[in-house]
Amino acid sequence: MGRVKLERKYAVWGWLFVAPASLMIFILSFFPMIQAFILSLQSGRGNNLRFAGMRNYLRLLEDEQFRAAVCNVFTYLIIQVPIMLILALILATILNEQTLKLKGLFRTLVFLPCVAGLVSAATIFKSIFSIDGLVNIMLLKLHIITSPVSFLSDPVWAKAVIIIVITWRWTGYNTIFYLAGFQTIETSIYEAARIDGANAAQQFFKITMPLLRPVILLTTIMSTNGTLQIFDEVRTITGTSGGPGNATLTISQYIYNLSFLYSPQFGYAAAASYTILFMVAVLSFIQMKIGDKE
Amino acid sequence: MNNAMKKVRPAVAFMYAFLTLIALVSAFPFVWMALASTNKSVDIVRGRFFFGLNLLENWSALFSAYPMASSFLNSLRNAVVGTIVSLFVCSLAGYGFQVYRDKAKDRLMAVLLLSMMVPFASVMIPLFRMFSQAKLLNTTLGIILPSVSTAFLIFFFRQNSAGFPMEIVQAARVDGLSEFGIYLRIYVPVMAATFAAAAIIQFMGVWNNYLWPLIILLKKEAQTLPIMLVSITSGYTTDYGILMLAVTISTLPTVILFFTQQRRFVSGILGSVK
């Protein structure tokens, strides 16, 4: 066989190798995205759908459940993501300390929560915070409260429990990324800074933070995307109803309820689902702009 | 020197105290879950925090009152089949993108990476309609299909293939090995560590997946562990001993994988971030 013929044969094989995976992503991810958009312009129950233009989107603006869901998700986002990422950054800084003893053990324990399934983690915390759960038992024994608190049916506490679960489950996960980020920083930079008289805080803000910027950006975008779509933990802890007075309802949960719990309104649910896509895109764009500033 | 040591000590003590606290908080739910699974529900709500003698009773109650055995087997089958198929499809693509690299394929890879930004919530309704038309509801294939090919895994394999020497490919071609033969006989064994890391992440992903199975598994016989866990807690009264045994059984495989394969688990999570 001639050289050109051989090259052509290899090229065909190359495309054959990448084809199945690529086709699947197009069929199972990009194509449904277009379908969801078309669906969002239709309204009706079940499979009886009619073109409705922008009516679904306008209806969303006045939908109180949807508004509650958006508010809840942003509450989770604004409170939980910063707490978790700062905690992970501190943990990674400590775990990266060269003089730290029992480093392997500490790392293992810090990473451990990220092997728990979201439903398993939420189930454990739901039990611990239930009306006859461990937290109430402890508080009663310590005489901090006189009667058990029903954490899961209180609008503020229910949100707090959900934030606790997410933080418990994902802090170690983000620590893994920061620790990997530290591996790319040469220790000699810190030595030089120390010789120049920089204290620990200065080293952290002047060296660590700028050099970790790409990793911090990545974890921020991942956490934001995850939180905007949050479903498993909330449904496990406060059930299908969305908690006391919709206090914990999330956008994903509302989409699920609209499509699969009540009599299905696929078009309306698709419109709600497109708002998540929109928010993910906008927030990622803003974060990238801020992250790339310098 | 002495002065400096004295100054450092409180900071170091604080560092260890903080780390110990976090480590305890991380481990506590697992310990509580394991202890509770051996106790009677009445003792658990009294705050008992030791091993009990009720494990066997919880076990038989769990397996007789709930479809525990079938849920476990369903989860296991989905996770094993899902992992094998996914590893094959994604590694083949990652290999193709790296070894047969050209401008067009790089561009395709960039487009595929965009799919990582697509929230699952915004495709789940069309996917459900597509799958119900294709009669894939309640099937293993239906469960695994959306997560078989992910840009994350393809990219993971592509980046890790960068260290795979082209000389081997050329030598194998001279020896008369087919293109697929090179992938199967040389690439797969050489990249065993990458495959192991990807397998752990994919297995855990399918094993713990909740939303998609919840949508497409309408039959009780097909339900998976996370779905069953939620159904145990949604009753009016919960037997904590039985519930925590079910959670322990659901968590054990991933915990064992983590303790035996921690390094691979970490490299799998990081994917191609370096």
Task: For B141-186, write each residue's pLDDT tens digit.
Answer: 999 999 999 999 999 999 999 889 889 999 999 999 999 999 999 9
Helix (H) or strand (E) holding B87: helix B68-99
Residues 6+ apart with CB under 8 A from A49: A39, A42, A43, A266, A267
Q: Does residue A27 form part of some domain?
A: no
**Minimal Cα–Cα distance from B185 to chain A, Å?**
15
Determine the residue among B125, B184, B233, B265 to mutate to test chain A binding: the one whose Cβ has the most chain A Cβ atoms within 10 Å: B125
Res. A10: pLDDT tops 90? no
Read off the CATH number of the domain in which A79 is found.
Answer: 1.10.3720.10
Residue A210 banded pLDDT, cuts 50, 70, 90: confident
Q: Does residue A23 form part of some domain?
A: no
Question: Which residues of chain B make contact with A114, given a CB cutoff of 8 A?
Answer: 269
- The percent of residues in chain B predicted with pLDDT above 70, rounded, is 96
Arithmetic mean of pLDDT over chain B: 92
Residue with tokens 């509770």: B36
Determine the residue among A27, A48, A57, A124 to mutate to test chain B binding: the one whose Cβ has the most chain B Cβ atoms within 10 Å: A124
**Minimal Cα–Cα distance from B274 to chain A, Å?**
7
> Using CB atoms, which residue from B117, B204, B230 is nearest to A115?
B204
Contact present, B269 and A172 (Cβ < 8 Å): no
Per-residue model confidence (pLDDT) at position B8 = 59
Q: Give the tokens for residue B109.
A: 């890879």
Task: For A65-77, write each residue's pLDDT tens digit.
Answer: 999 999 999 999 9
Q: How far is CA B73 from CA A274, B25, B149, B221, B223, in A?
A: 36, 31, 23, 11, 10
Q: Does residue A50 form part of some domain?
A: no
Question: Which residues of chain A make contact with B125, given a CB cutoff of 8 A?
Answer: 36, 39, 255, 259, 266, 269-270, 273
End-to-end CA distance of chain A: 54
Q: Does residue A37 form part of some domain?
A: no
Q: Does residue A55 form part of some domain?
A: no
Which residue of chain B has the CA closest to A167? B26
* B199 interface with A at CB cutoff 8 Å: no
Higher model confidence: residue A242 or residue B274? A242
> Using CB atoms, which residue from A18, A110, A173 is nearest to B96?
A18
Question: Which residues of chain B make contact with A92, given a CB cutoff of 8 A?
Answer: none
> Using CB atoms, which residue from A17, A32, A112 is nearest to B126?
A32
Answer yes or no: do B117 and A117 touch at CB < 8 A: no
**C-alpha dihedral, A126 to A127 to A131 to A136, nearest 10°:** -100
The count of structural domains within chain A is 1
**Minimal Cα–Cα distance from A133 to chain B, Å?**
6
| Range from A113-117, B6-10, B206-210 carrying the lowest mean pLDDT | B6-10
Answer yes or no: do B238 and A130 touch at CB < 8 A: yes
**Minimal Cα–Cα distance from B99 to chain A, Å?**
8
Higher model confidence: residue B1 or residue B135? B135
Q: Does residue A52 form part of some domain?
A: no
Per-residue model confidence (pLDDT) at position B1 = 44
Answer yes or no: do A21 and B180 touch at CB < 8 A: no
Contact present, A236 and A126 (Cβ < 8 Å): yes
Q: Does residue A253 form part of some domain?
A: yes
Question: Which residues of chain B make contact with A255, given a CB cutoff of 8 A?
Answer: 121, 124-125
Residue A293 banded pLDDT, cuts 50, 70, 90: low
CA distance B81 to B199: 11
Which residue range(s) make up the domain with A73?
A: 63-291
Label residues B84-105 b or e (16+ Cβ within 10 Å = b): ebbbbbbbbbbbbbbbbbeeeb
Question: What is the greatest pairwise CA distance in chain A?
Answer: 88
Beta bridge partners of A43: A50
Res. A204: pLDDT tops 90? no
Q: How many residues does chain A have?
A: 294
Domains of chain B: 2-57 (no CATH), 66-270 (1.10.3720.10)
Answer yes or no: do A17 and B93 touch at CB < 8 A: yes
Higher model confidence: residue B6 or residue A47? A47
> Using CB atoms, which residue from B33, B208, B215 is nearest to A260?
B215
Q: Does residue A84 form part of some domain?
A: yes
List the alpha helices (DSSP H) in B175-239.
179-181, 188-190, 192-208, 211-216, 225-233
- The percent of residues in chain A predicted with pLDDT above 70, rounded, is 99
**Minimal Cα–Cα distance from B213 to chain A, Å?**
12
